[in-house]
Amino acid sequence: MLKAVRNQSSVVVCSTCRHSPEAREDEQGLRGGARLSQALRDMQASEPHYAGIAVQDMPCLFACAAHCTVMVRAPGKIGYVLGKFAPDESSARAILDYSLKHAESEEGQVRYADWPEGVKGHFLVRVPPEGFVAT
């Protein structure tokens, strides 16, 4: 079932993602996706410059081989699925920093030199915006 959300720059978090390759849940019984989502929201609450990026939860992005998966997207821009994050503050900051650069870009392409170190090696898929393909 689909739920309408505001069409804006956002990070869609797989709320049911594994905690790590070895464990579905952490020692408190929480999934990694739920922890990562909370870390993103906590980061937004403490640093207002992230407020323009929506954090949206979705159960299962079907990227189960890559724990703690997110999709960075914005209207009319190439989107990216990233995974294999630790569900912590450092990952949340890197994801939100990249999302800001993505939001500022014309078509969703951010120069590699401008990528935060914490997202390098985490890209899984790029998704063209509806009605377009990249050239």
Question: Which pLDDT tens digit goes with each residue over 53-98?
Answer: 999 999 999 999 999 999 999 999 999 999 999 999 999 999 999 9
Distance (Å, rounded) from C-alpha 47 to C-alpha 25? 28
Domain ranges of the chain: 10-127
Count of C-beta atoms within a 10 Å radius of residue 120: 11
Six-digit token string for 19: 């905690």
Q: What pTM did the predictor assign?
A: 0.96
- Residue 134, pLDDT above cutoff 90: no
Task: Tell me what percent of the residues of the chain surpass a pLDDT of 70.
Answer: 100
Q: What are 33-60's pLDDT values in tens digits? A: 999 999 999 999 999 999 999 999 999 9
Six-digit token string for 95: 């994801």
Architecture of the domain whose range is 10-127: 3-Layer(aba) Sandwich (3.40)
User: Per residue, what are the HEC states of 95-121?
Assistant: HHHHHHHHHHCCCCCCCHHHCCHHHCC
